[in-house]
Amino acid sequence: MPDTLIWFEHEEVMNMAEEKKIRRIGILTSGGDAPGMNAVIRAVTRTSIANGIEVLGILHGYAGLIANDFKVLTARDVDGLLMKGGTILYTARCEEMFDPEYRQRAADNCRFLGIDGLVCCGGDGTFRGAQELSRLGVPCICVSGTIDNDIPCTDYTIGFDTACNTAITAIDKLRDTMQSHARCSVVEVMGRHHGHLALAVGASVGAAAILVPEDPGNFEQDVVEKIRTGRINGRNHHIIIVAEGYHMSCQQVADKIVEETGVDTRITILGHVQRGGSPTSQDRVMAIKMGCAAVEALMAGKAQRVIVLRDNKIIDIDIEEGLQCQKDLDRNLLEQCRRMSI
């Protein structure tokens, strides 16, 4: 295990790190992957090294912490990561983290590896894991990495913008063929519990209807009637966006449209393609801001915090407090889209 510290350039910040005894930071990515996770790894690694702190990349999320599966990250290891989708550290869902015995092992391994602070990038499940580890004495800082933008405590989650753009690009292409055949297209986008992605995508492609779990609306009025009147008014194709967690499946929505209108209807499930791809500028910049803030928080002696965007400012809040926040869908936007669907 390497124990040499890279000599620091920023003496003041370094002194602070020394004071708080931050010599080695661990970083892991966990839960579903999101574009921009690699950019977070880069930001955390470079910021740490620039401040004389060593970085261990924990592989396969919390599973790697339990199994002591890690690699040292150098500044060169993270070259080219800003534009790369996925996560070079891999991600995983790790059942053992729900077992106190394994959580203790993960915390013990942190101590054994000399990890003075851990950056955990993922969704709210990952935050819960970090909260448990913090309780066991491992200073953890969370950074959001999830395409769903469903973490209540932050206005933005890294990966959301890229996922939106991936879906929009695909649907714009779909529209061409739907128009040629005068069809209706029902497209499922990710979002098991929330419709943030479906709403942003639906608004961006000018969908005839956006079906989300938070607001089931009135199917007859919002979908069937829109298609019927649209056809009468000379609109020959329609796009319906369905969030994965809507109470009817994409197929059920399509079947109902055919049954009620007789319009030739096709389904497309975008699926995992939404998780991939090179991050957009917004996700790259956010990864830099949040990744740097995570390291700075550890250097300032903070623990059990989550880095969030609020009112366009990057701040850190207590994980516990963050997990209790509520975030509603932008119902105003949903209503505006419904009104414009004529």
Contact in structure between 172 and 205 (CB atoms under 8 Å): yes
Cβ 108 to ligand ATP, closest distance in Å?
A: 16
Residue of 80, 98, 169, 251 that binds ligand ATP (CB under 6 A): 98
Closest to ligand ATP by CB, 206 vs 271, is 271
Closest to ligand ATP by CB, 30 vs 109, is 30
Which of the residues 188 through 217 are near ligand ATP (CB under 6 A)?
none
Stretch that binds ligand ATP, among 46-54, 68-76, 93-101, 307-315 (CB under 6 A): 93-101
Task: Give the integer Cα–Cα distance in Å for 78 and 82.
Answer: 8
Place of tokens 């055949």: 181
Burial zone of 217 (CB within 10 Å; 0-12 exposed, 13-18 middle, 19+ buried): middle
Cβ 19 to ligand ATP, closest distance in Å?
A: 31
172 carries an active-site annotation: no
Question: Distances from the Cα of 68 to the Cαs of 54, 58, 59, 137, 148, in angstroms?
Answer: 17, 8, 9, 18, 30
Q: If binding is defined by CB under 6 A, does position 94 make contact with ligand ATP?
A: yes
Active site residue: 33, 148, 161, 316, which one? 148
What is the DSSP-derived secondary structure letter of residue 278? P
Task: Give the integer Cα–Cα distance in Å for 20 and 89.
Answer: 27
Closest to ligand ATP by CB, 14 vs 212, is 212
Map residues 29-48 to x or -, x wherever contact with ligand ATP holds by CB under 6 A.
-xxx----------------
Burial zone of 65 (CB within 10 Å; 0-12 exposed, 13-18 middle, 19+ buried): buried
Closest to ligand ATP by CB, 33 vs 316, is 33
For residue 170, count other CB atoms closer than 10 A to its CB: 18
What is the DSSP-derived secondary structure letter of residue 222? I
Q: If binding is defined by CB under 6 A, does position 49 make contact with ligand ATP?
A: no
Residue 170, C-beta contacts closer than 8 angstroms, at least 6 positions apart: 268, 270, 273
Q: If binding is defined by CB under 6 A, does position 124 make contact with ligand ATP?
A: yes
Residue of 38, 49, 52, 62 that binds ligand ATP (CB under 6 A): 62
Place of tokens 């929505």: 253
Closest to ligand ATP by CB, 66 vs 295, is 66
Burial zone of 68 (CB within 10 Å; 0-12 exposed, 13-18 middle, 19+ buried): middle
Closest to ligand ATP by CB, 57 vs 129, is 129
Task: Give the integer Cα–Cα distance in Å for 55 and 45.
Answer: 6
Cβ 120 to ligand ATP, closest distance in Å?
A: 8
Stretch that binds ligand ATP, among 1-9, 26-34, 174-182, 217-225 (CB under 6 A): 26-34
Q: If binding is defined by CB under 6 A, does position 126 make contact with ligand ATP?
A: yes
Residue of 86, 125, 152, 276 that binds ligand ATP (CB under 6 A): 125
State the alpha helices, DSSP H only, in 11-97: 11-19, 37-50, 61-67
For residue 207, the SS3 value is coil
Closest to ligand ATP by CB, 108 vs 260, is 108
Sign of CA dihedral 154, 155, 158, 160: positive
Written as one letter, the residue type at 27 is I
Stretch that binds ligand ATP, among 118-126, 197-205, 297-305, 306-314 (CB under 6 A): 118-126
Cβ 253 to ligand ATP, closest distance in Å?
A: 24
Q: If binding is defined by CB under 6 A, does position 146 make contact with ligand ATP?
A: yes
Q: Dihedral (C-alpha) 69, 75, 76, 81: value to the nearest 10 degrees?
A: 80
The pair phi, psi for residue 24, each rounded to 5°, is -145, 130
Q: If binding is defined by CB under 6 A, does position 132 make contact with ligand ATP?
A: yes
Active site residue ranges:
148
Q: Which residues bind ligand ATP (CB under 6 A)?
A: 30-32, 62, 93-94, 97-98, 122-126, 128-129, 132, 146, 148
